[in-house]
Structure 1
Amino acid sequence: MLVLTLPMTGAKADECKVLTATGNAEYPPYLWRKGDGGKELLGANRAIMGEIGRRLGVVIELQDVGSWARAQEMLKSGRIDLMAGAFYTVPRIQYMDYVYPAFLNTQSVVWRNAESAMTYESRKDLLGLKGLTVINNSFGQEFDEYAKKNLDIGHVASLKQAFLMVTRGRADYVLYEKNPGLAYASLLGYSDKVQVLDPAISSEGLYLTISHKSKCNTGVLRGRLARVVQEMEVDGFMQKALRDGLNSWDQFSEKVE
């Protein structure tokens, strides 16, 4: 069992044999709720967190704390130690440290009503149109800054609400990640109602992060996490976890349907 020395915080070594983690619980194939009324999370990121803990010799408890916005607030306050997947943005580095390298990469795309005549070849085609995304969603620092200055993007509580609004003509497009969007479009019955447009607006790394206020956040732990993440990337564990997550989501969504 790994024993961490934490002189900067005064935390006892045995206090850091268990780390808490959370993430976006509506984010298949990376994370999603089991759906039986409990708090269990499934998906690629669950497997990745479990393997990181195994290789470190610590327990990582993955918790469903509610919405994505609440997950970020829990990390910011230090009530949760780790975030199991976040894009890099400047606002976020004010309250959490990123572990490099990214453990997976993901694309964000433009979604439109399948019956819409909207055309899209570059971000300039979004100027003057009404867009939507989910509260506290990010598309990477560069696109976030461009969108803030140039685009009209509203924020709603869920992807389901965003898809509903775009199919009813209350918005021109939705910005969301490709894989989770495809997964939920299938589950919610929107596969033939919404359409992905190419090219992607951004391609970003998905990082493990640790709260600035975590009592276990030290150079020792960050270094060990970085080494393990790199090892898992090199030996193919990350891509295997993603493939398994995609297969598990397919099985899950078939049962729900």
Structure 2
Amino acid sequence: MWQDPKNDSKLIGANAELMQLVAREIGIPIEVRYVGPWGRVQESARNGRIDLIAGAFLTQPRLTYLRYLQPVIRDTQTLIWTRQQHPLQYQRWEDLQGQEGITVVNNSFGQAFDQFAAINLKLQQVGSVKNALQMLSLGRADYLIYEDAPGLAYAASLNIRGLRASTVPVSREKLYLTVALASVCNNEQLAERLSRAMKKFSDDRVMDALVEKYLRVWQAQSSAARRPG
């Protein structure tokens, strides 16, 4: 998901439309909006200021404040992003050692990689993917760790060119719909209704079609942003 260029409080993308389909299926409105960088999203969930996160990886710490629903939204992969003029030949985690990396604060890429990175890598954390991509493009980091499709969408929306993504993923993780444990909406009945809706859309492979649709949307938006006048 990314912020709507015409309304920066609104989020658009495959996950956002999926939430509207889920809302119609369960008969309860779901407002999908931008509440700030990823760290603030998680803090809002901890405090019950938001009810759902439409896409979170599973980690042990997050189980203390999020209820993870099945089935998953989709499988994702996290890649290494570099500048085309200064590529990094990435094949395994150890190839990142000695390089200056950057990532978004509170992002997780699977517990195994998170533990490896904490011990072995020089990773700077910044508040948003926008800042991370801009820093990478300016040469203030050697690489960025971020997901595949969202990375493409954000780079296009920011009109950042000259980046390349690794063909070998850092990790493959499952993306879940989650309910904030502190939310007044956190109850078994609603969780079951949400899961049934997710099962229906998973069986119908709705998310695959939505991802394709919104790849075309951000491509059109990025082309329009580059057009003079």
Spell out the pairing of 1:27-66 with structure 2 (5 A cutoff).
31-66=1-36
Identity of aligned residues (%): 39
Asked whether the 8 Å contact 2:159–2:225 carries over to 1, the reply is no
- Structure 2 residue aligned with 1:108: 78
Deviation at 1:39, TM superposition (A): 1.9
Deviation at 1:114, TM superposition (A): 1.4
| CA displacement, residues 148-183 of structure 1 (integer Å, 9 cap, x when unaligned) | 122111012233433343344432211111112122
Asked whether the 8 Å contact 2:55–2:177 carries over to 1, the reply is yes
- Structure 2 residue aligned with 1:219: 188
Deviation at 1:217, TM superposition (A): 1.1
| CA displacement, residues 91-110 of structure 1 (integer Å, 9 cap, x when unaligned) | 11110100012111211111
User: Normalization by structure 2: what TM-score?
Assistant: 0.91
Spell out the pairing of 1:85-96 with structure 2 (5 A cutoff).
85-96=55-66
User: Normalization by structure 1: what TM-score?
Assistant: 0.82
Asked whether the 8 Å contact 1:182–1:191 carries over to 2, the reply is no
Asked whether the 8 Å contact 2:157–2:218 carries over to 1, the reply is no
Asked whether the 8 Å contact 2:101–2:144 carries over to 1, the reply is yes
SS at match of 1:239: helix
1:181 aligns with 2:151: yes
Residues 118, 38 of structure 1: alpha-carbon distance in 2 compared, 3 angstrom cutoff: closer
Asked whether the 8 Å contact 1:113–1:195 carries over to 2, the reply is yes
1:69 aligns with 2:53: no
- Structure 1 residue aligned with 2:49: 79
CA distance in structure 2 between the partners assigned to 1:251 and 1:128 by the alignment? 38
5+ residue gaps, structure 1 = 1-30
1:197 aligns with 2:166: yes
1:156 aligns with 2:138: no
After superposition, the CA RMSD in angstroms is 1.7
* Corresponding residue pairs, total: 226
5+ residue gaps, structure 2 = none
